[in-house]
Amino acid sequence: MRRAQCNNCTCSPGLLARNNRRSSLIARQIHLKRTGSSSGSRPGSRKGSVFSIDPSVLCEPEAKEVNTSKRLEKVRNLMEEYNLGVYIVPSEDAHQSEYTSSIDQRRSFISGFQGSAGVAVITRDVTCMNSTPEGLAVLSTDGRYFNQALNELDFNWTLLRQGAMNEPTWEDWSIDQAIQLSLDSGSKINIGVDPKLITYQSYLKFTEIISRKLKLSKNVKAEVEFVAIKDNLITSIWDQFEPLPKSTGEAIKLLDLKYCGESFESKLNKIVDQIKKNNGNALIISSLDEIAWLLNLRGNDIPYNPLFFSYLIINSLNEVILFIDSNKISSEVEKYLNENNIKIKPYEEFWDYLFNLSKDYNLKGEKLLVNQNVSWEIVRSLKCSFTQLSRSPIEDLKSIKNEIEIKGAKNANIKDGRALCKFFSWLENEIILKGEILDEIQADLKLTEFRKQEEDFVGLSFSTISSSGANSAIIHYSPSSTNYSMINPDSIYLNDSGSHFLDGTTDTTRTIHLTTPTSLQKRNYTLVLKGVVSLSSLEFPENTLGSYLDSIARQHLWKYNLDYAHGTSHGIGSYLNVHEGPMSIGLRPSASTTSIKPGNIISNEPGYYEDGEYGIRIENDMVVVDTGKIYNGKKFYKFETLTRVPFCRKLIDTKLLTKEEKLWINEFHKTIWNDLSTSFTKGSFEYNWLLRETTAL
pLDDT on residue 179: 94
Residue 279 CB-half CA count within 13 A: 5
Give tens-digit pLDDT for 106-134.
999 999 998 888 999 999 999 998 989 99
pLDDT in tens, 59-83: 333 344 568 999 999 999 999 999 9
Residues 391 and 268 in one domain: yes
How many Cβ atoms from other residues are within 10 Å of residue 27's Cβ? 13
Instruction: Tell me what the pLDDT averaged over the chain comes to.
Output: 89
Tell me, yes or no, whether 511 lies in a domain. Answer: yes
Distance CA 500, CA 289 (A): 14
Does 413 share its domain with 481? yes
Alpha helix ranges (H) inside 188-263: 200-216, 233-238, 257-260
Indicate whether 679 and 592 sit together in one domain: yes
- Asked if the peptide bond before residue 582 counts as cis, ω within 30 degrees of 0, the response is yes
Q: Determine, yes or no, domain membership for 62.
A: no
What's the order of all strands across the beta sheet hosting 86-89?
A: 158-161, 137-141, 119-123, 86-89, 189-193, 224-228
Residues 195 and 210 in one domain: yes
Q: Is residue 245 part of a domain?
A: no
Q: Name 95's Cβ contacts closer than 8 Å, sequence gap at least 6.
A: 286, 287, 288, 309, 375
Lowest mean pLDDT among 42-56, 338-352, 618-632: 42-56
pLDDT digits (tens, 9 = 90+) for 621-654: 999 999 999 999 999 999 999 999 999 999 999 9
Lowest mean pLDDT among 315-319, 425-429, 689-693: 315-319
CATH of the domain at 532: 3.90.230.10
CB–CB of 122/226 below 8 Å?
no
Is the predicted pLDDT of residue 389 greater than 50, yes or no? Answer: yes
Comparing 6-15, 282-291, 378-387, 521-530, which segment has the lowest mean pLDDT? Answer: 6-15
**Residue 51 pLDDT greater than 60, yes or no:** no
Q: Do 187 and 330 fall within a single domain?
A: no
Residues 375 and 347 occupy one common structural domain: yes
Q: Which residue has the higher pLDDT, 64 or 542?
A: 542
Model confidence at 289, pLDDT cuts 50, 70, 90, reads very high
Percent with pLDDT over 90 in the chain = 81
Q: Both 395 and 407 in a single domain?
A: no
Distance, in Å, from the CA atom of 223 to the CA atom of 287, rounded to the nearest integer, reads 35
- For residues 417 and 360, membership in a common domain is answered with no
- The structure's pTM equals 0.88
Per the rule left: phi > 0, alpha: psi between -120 and 50, beta: everything else, 392 is beta
State the amino acid at position 612 in one-letter form: G
Instruction: Determine the pLDDT at residue 147.
Output: 84
Contact (CB, 8 A) for 369 and 284? yes
CATH code at position 189: 3.40.350.10
Answer yes or no: is 208 within a domain. yes
DSSP state of 480: B
> Quick check: 340 pLDDT over 90?
yes
Nearest to 296 by CA among 308, 286, 314: 308
315 and 442 housed in the same domain:
no
Same-domain check for residues 378 and 516: no
pLDDT at 14: 28
Domain that holds residue 219: 69-238
Residue type, 460: L
Residue 230 pLDDT exceeds 80: yes
| 28 pLDDT higher than 50 | no
Q: What is the reported pLDDT for 220? A: 66
Question: What pLDDT score was predicted for residue 194?
Answer: 98
Domain boundary among the residues 375, 399, 423 is at 399
How many whole angstroms separate alpha carbon 579 and alpha carbon 97? Answer: 11
Count CB atoms within 10 A of the CB of residue 247: 13
Q: Given 238, 272, 289, which residue is the final one in a domain? A: 238
- Please check whether residues 436 and 328 belong to one and the same domain: no
pLDDT of 38 reads 33
Strand 368-370 relative to strand 386-388: parallel, antiparallel, unpaired? Answer: parallel
Report the number of distinct structural domains present in the chain.
4
**For 180-190, what is the mean pLDDT?**
94
> Strand, helix or coil at 541?
strand
